[in-house]
């Protein structure tokens, strides 16, 4: 299963994107600010563009399986999860619907749909996951 994240708005406080699963639109995303290469402000910087493997891992914080991006340069613990505003991201990718400027809504429902699709693909077909961020 391939996820593709197209960043469509790179603002001074947050980044909005469109997430596709196998080239089909799935949802909107919210991330921290995209900064120049080599510049990182802890908890306020989006991960670098690139292609990353994803594993479903147990999360102590969220008390469930979560999609974690692997081998992100200068970042650790990058998850795809729910949340509504850029303060909820800390470098992670939030999923939902961008119906309000600078926010995503219906995030928990969107996340549940995503994780269910990923889990079923893994359980039934032993699929691997990757995400390309543009």
Distance of CA 42 to the CA centre of its chain: 17
Yes or no: say if 78 and 50 are a contact pair by the CB < 8 Å rule.
Answer: no
pLDDT the model gives residue 38:
82
- Total domains in the fold of the chain: 1
d(CA 34, CA 49): 9
Q: What does the pLDDT look like over 7-26, one tens digit per residue?
A: 999 999 999 999 999 999 99
E strands of the chain, at which residues? 2-10, 15-21, 24-31, 50-59, 64-69, 80-81, 93-96, 129-133
pLDDT the model gives residue 116:
94
pLDDT the model gives residue 125:
80
Q: Which residue has the tokens 């729910």?
A: 82
Q: What is the mean pLDDT of each run of 10 residues along the chain (134 residues)?
A: 97 97 97 92 94 94 93 95 95 97 97 95 87 96
pLDDT the model gives residue 94:
98
d(CA 125, CA 113): 18
- Asked whether the whole model's pTM tops 0.85, one would answer yes
Structure tokens at 120: 């079923």
d(CA 29, CA 112): 14
Owning domain of residue 7: 2-133
């Amino acid at each position: 299963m391939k996820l593709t994240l197209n960043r469509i708005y790179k603002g001074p406080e947050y980044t909005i994107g469109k997430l596709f699963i196998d080239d089909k639109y799935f949802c909107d995303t919210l991330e921290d600010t995209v900064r120049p290469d080599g510049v990182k402000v802890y908890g306020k910087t989006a991960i670098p563009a690139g292609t990353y493997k994803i594993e479903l891992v147990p999360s102590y914080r969220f008390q469930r399986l979560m999609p974690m991006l692997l081998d992100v340069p200068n970042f650790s613990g990058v998850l795809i999860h729910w949340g509504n505003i850029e303060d909820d991201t800390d470098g992670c990718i939030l999923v939902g619907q961008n119906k309000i400027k600078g926010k995503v809504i219906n995030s928990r429902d969107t996340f549940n749909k995503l994780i269910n699709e990923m889990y079923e693909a893994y359980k039934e077909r032993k699929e691997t996951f990757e995400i390309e961020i543009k």
